C-alpha cells in the first residue's frame, strides 16, 4: 500500500459519502476536514465513512485495519481530516 493510494481511497470515500448525504465539503484543498469544528460530518456520517474506508482497504489491498480500535480512539482527534485518517491507517498497518 502506497501512501498516495491510501489518501486517494480516503478522499474518494469522503467525497462519495458527502455526496450521498448532500453535504458540501471542500474538495479542492489537500486537507479535507471531516469530523471536527471545521468539519461537516456528523457521527452517523463518520460511522459510514470509517466502515467504507475499512471495506475498501480490504477490498483493494487485502489489509484489515480497524479505525475504531482502542489504539485509534486514544489519539487526539483521529478523524479530524483526511490526513489524520491517513496517519491513523499508516500507524495501524505498520
Sequential pLDDT tens for the chain (94 residues):
799 999 999 999 999 999 999 998 887 789 999 998 889 999 999 999 999 999 999 999 999 999 988 877 777 789 999 999 999 999 887 6
C-beta of residue 17 within 8 angstroms of C-beta of residue 45: yes
SS3 83: helix
Q: Which residues of 72-90 are buried (b: 16+ CB within 10 A; e: fewer)?
A: beeeeebbbbbbbbbebbe
Q: What is the DSSP letter of 86?
A: H
In the chain, where the domains are located: 3-93
Amino acid at each position: 500500500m502506497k501512501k498516495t493510494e491510501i489518501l486517494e481511497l480516503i478522499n474518494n470515500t469522503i467525497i462519495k459519502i458527502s455526496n450521498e448525504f448532500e453535504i458540501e465539503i471542500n474538495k479542492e484543498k489537500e486537507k479535507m476536514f471531516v469530523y471536527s469544528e471545521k468539519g461537516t460530518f456528523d457521527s452517523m456520517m463518520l460511522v459510514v465513512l470509517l466502515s467504507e474506508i475499512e471495506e475498501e482497504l480490504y477490498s483493494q489491498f487485502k489489509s484489515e485495519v480497524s479505525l475504531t480500535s482502542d489504539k485509534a480512539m486514544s489519539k487526539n482527534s483521529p478523524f479530524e481530516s483526511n490526513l489524520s485518517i491517513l496517519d491513523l491507517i499508516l500507524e495501524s498497518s505498520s
